[in-house]
Amino acid sequence: MRFKRSSIPEYGIRFLIRLVNTGSGPKISSFFGLRGQSSVSKGDQSTILKLQEMQLIEEGEGKFFSGSANYKLTEQGIFYLLSELEEYPPVLLIKYPESVVLQTLIYQFFNAQTIKRCTASMYSEITKYLKQCCTATIARLDSLKSSQTEDDLNERIKELELDLTWLAKILVLKLAMMYSEAGILSSTAGMTKDNAKVAMYELENDMKRVLSKDNKFRKILDTAYSELSEGHQEIRKMSEEG
């Protein structure tokens, strides 16, 4: 509800990516107090101030070496990266497992170990899914904010929840097709070297094994498959009756 779409310069994006990878940055308190700082360091501190004003980052607990502080993304910062970037470090999903955004969109449907062991192809599908979820959420923000009553707000939230649930079901069905035997073989069809093809097959087959042991994934997959089968049967029945 507090999220506002805003434009961040390229150096701000680079800083957020660096923050995801390291977690450290210069102390704000030294901005005016230290002489002889490099222009890069001053630029970093100016960027930090701006990102804090936008509520995309905050200072976390624990300190690094002298002159450095520990920073982390806020919920809005995580949502910003998921919604604005086509690619970001995979560690983003691993580093913030307690995030409300990631708990809602990822860890409700996958165990943490599954996400940690993502292959490149599965990670690609997850990033597309997350961007779709953010787009769906942003599309409903205005109606959420303009709700006149609590009942109206709850109804809008339910509509958004339905949107996001549909996207999650589409994702797990797509992954199930990707990791079928035919799907894995299809993903290696363009490879000319046999050893690369075998290595890719074994990698994706291992990912399928990880998914098969993920109770959260299996639960939503069962639900999605059941609903798909029911819909298929009803349409087929109507077709035969017609």
Q: Which pLDDT score is estimated for 68?
A: 58
The Cα–Cα gap between 193 and 185 comes to 14
Is 134 part of a structural domain of the chain? yes
Q: Looking at the structure, tell me whether residues 42 and 122 fall in a common domain.
A: no
Is 80 part of a structural domain of the chain? no
Q: Looking at the structure, tell me whether residues 173 and 127 fall in a common domain.
A: yes
Q: Residue 71: which pLDDT band, with cuts at 50, 70 and 90?
A: confident
Q: Looking at the structure, tell me whether residues 54 and 134 fall in a common domain.
A: no
Q: Which residue has the higher pLDDT, 209 or 43?
A: 209
pTM confidence score: 0.85
Q: Looking at the structure, tell me whether residues 148 and 187 fall in a common domain.
A: yes
Q: Looking at the structure, tell me whether residues 137 and 210 fall in a common domain.
A: yes
The Cα–Cα gap between 171 and 148 comes to 34
Is 119 part of a structural domain of the chain? yes
Q: Looking at the structure, tell me whether residues 103 and 175 fall in a common domain.
A: yes
End-of-domain residue from the set 18, 39, 73:
73
Q: Is the pLDDT of residue 223 over 90?
A: yes
Do you know the residue count of the chain?
Answer: 242
When the pLDDT of each residue in the chain is averaged and rounded to a whole number, the result is 86
Q: Looking at the structure, tell me whether residues 117 and 203 fall in a common domain.
A: yes
Q: Looking at the structure, tell me whether residues 153 and 223 fall in a common domain.
A: yes
| Domain total in the chain | 2
Q: Looking at the structure, tell me whether residues 106 and 220 fall in a common domain.
A: yes
Q: Is the pLDDT of residue 30 over 90?
A: no
Q: Is the pLDDT of residue 234 over 50?
A: yes
Is 61 part of a structural domain of the chain? yes
Is 41 part of a structural domain of the chain? yes
What is the Cα 43 distance to its own chain's centre? 28
Mean pLDDT of 4-9: 82
Among 61-65, 165-169, 179-183, 200-204, which stretch is predicted with the lowest mean pLDDT? Answer: 61-65
Q: Which pLDDT score is estimated for 39?
A: 40
Is 78 part of a structural domain of the chain? no
Q: What are the tens digits of pLDDT across the range 181-211?
A: 998 888 777 777 778 888 889 999 999 999 9
The domain containing residue 208 runs over which residues? 98-227
What b/e string do you get for 188-212 counting C-beta neighbours within 10 Å, with b at 16 or more?
Answer: beeeeeeeebeebbeebeebbebbe
Is 139 part of a structural domain of the chain? yes
CB-based contact 78:97 (threshold 8 Å): no
Q: Is the pLDDT of residue 84 over 50?
A: yes
Is 235 part of a structural domain of the chain? no
Q: Looking at the structure, tell me whether residues 112 and 220 fall in a common domain.
A: yes
Q: Which pLDDT score is estimated for 189?
A: 75
